[in-house]
Copies of this chain bind each other. A is one copy, B any other.
Amino acid sequence: MLEDLKRAVCQANVELAACGLVTLTWGNVSGISQDRKLVVIKPSGVPYDQLQPEHLVVVDLDGQVVEGTLRPSSDTPTHVLLYKHFAGIGGITHTHSRHATMFAQARREIPCLGTTHADHFFGTVPVTRPLTAAEVAAGYERNTGQVIIERFAGLDPRTMPAVLVAGHAPFTWGKDAADSVKNSIALESVAEMAVGTWVLNPQAQLLEEYVLNKHYERKHGPNPEYGQK
């Protein structure tokens, strides 16, 4: 079942590792079926260079395994909850990529300091609040999804496809698995450049709002000028 989606999600996991965003097995990509009923996700702890489409695990929106002999990523309940609440996203990537994780650990948001950021993230990349002890005890991975959703009150996940979980690491999403990987790559780069920008100028100003609008719109607006039609 879902052979095309498995192939796409497998390929996205392999690309994620090839891009240098993953150390050891600290990362996973998932994708959701077109009817939004089933999620295909990386099995837990399996090295990327051995990953084959048939290793991927299919789970339903309660996180129950529907197909697959391997255990799904331990982060599966987070992925599933995000699919449930963020209409229109087709893929999710979780990494511990170095600079984005520095921001998550520092519990600082990433403001838009330049057009590289504006090309991918429409405004400040948010950080969640930390989970409470009760939330960790009652379902850590599910509640990780819950604090992300809570943080996105008033934010549009389609124009802000990334979040930093406080003390943990980033999640990104996109229209499909490959697109969510692209956003992880963009986030890591934007995070690295933000660190260096502040080293050079601790008072670095935000990108002018009209430039942010222009860059985001020319790439993601209804009539994009970027890429091929």
Contacts and interface: CB of A to CB of B under 8 A. Distances in A.
Interface in A121-156: 130-131, 133, 136-137, 140
Contacts of A196: 98-99, 102, 106, 195
A70 B98 CA distance: 36
Contacts of A45: 226-228
Given A101-B193, A225-B74, A227-B44, A24 B167 contact: no
A114 B168 contact: yes
Given A74-B218, A106-B200, A211-B136, A24 B114 contact: no
Interface in A160-176: 167-169
Nearest to A102: B196
Contact of A185 (B23, B104, B200, B227): B23
Nearest to A201: B106
A228 B46 contact: yes
Given A44-B227, A193-B101, A218-B74, A167 B201 contact: no
A197 interface: yes
Interface in A63-80: 70-71, 74
Contact of A167 (B106, B113, B119, B185): B113
B23 A189 contact: yes
Given A43-B228, A195-B196, A225-B74, A136 B167 contact: no
Interface of A: 23-24, 26, 43-46, 70-71, 74, 96, 98-99, 101-108, 113-116, 119, 130-131, 133, 136-137, 140, 167-169, 182, 185-186, 189, 192-201, 204-205, 207-208, 210-211, 214, 218, 225-229
Given A44-B225, A106-B201, A167-B207, 5 more contacts: A46-B228, A105-B193, A107-B201, A136-B211, A140-B218
